[in-house]
Homo-oligomer: A and B are copies of this chain.
């Protein structure tokens, strides 16, 4: 899930020039964790524009050059911090980072499980505040928005697309179903409530969305 080739993956890549690989690896992992936590905290508190690599380094207790050794820019650090945040959220819900949507053979149950977890995530301040800061920046900065959409959003949408393609294969939805459109019908309303804070995001709402969308996708006899 890394977007920068030189970023240390969790404990697996010793920092360049290290003499003792295991110790350096532990130090790298600690630094990586501290940098991500600092980046997410600062972007939550001050917004994207006022977050700097210098500020992240100071808060994380590392040198600025440590960050620049692994990431080329502020945007790259934040992108990896968000990917890591997503992975941890998935793991906290009992899944594997980067894992597919479950396929128990019951599309409605599988989608409800994932949308309920998404609702929980959207309601969790640890996730919500930095994600709002990032979304706000991506809305007005097309380049940054495109990078975030490509690296963070599209991989998630593709998980849904593949689950709905599998359901189409299995005859659970109509053969004429457009999986991409179906996915947008599921996640679009959730995002709309979240971004514009119109009405509460609840498990009952997630369930109702799934039921309504699947009714429209039912095989036509």
Contacts and interface: CB of A to CB of B under 8 A. Distances in A.
21 contacts: A132-B139, A135-B139, A136-B139, A138-B196, A146-B197, A149-B198, A153-B198, A157-B198, A178-B208, A178-B212, A181-B212, A182-B212, A184-B189, A184-B193, A185-B188, A187-B192, A188-B188, A188-B189, A188-B191, A188-B193, A191-B191
Contacts of A217: 212, 216
A191 B142 CA distance: 16
A104 interface: no
A66 to B, nearest CB: 29
A195 B195 contact: yes
A90 interface: no
B198 A185 contact: no
Contacts of A146: 197
Interface residues of A, number: 42
B191 A195 contact: yes
A87 interface: no
Q: How often does this chain occur in the complex, in copies?
A: 2
Interface of A: 47, 132-133, 135-140, 142, 145-146, 149, 153-154, 157, 178, 180-182, 184-185, 187-193, 195-199, 208-209, 212-217
Given A137-B136, A139-B135, A181 B208 contact: yes
Contacts of A137: 136
A184 B190 CA distance: 9
B185 A212 contact: yes
A146 B184 CA distance: 25
Contacts of A181: 189, 208-209, 212
Contacts of A199: 180
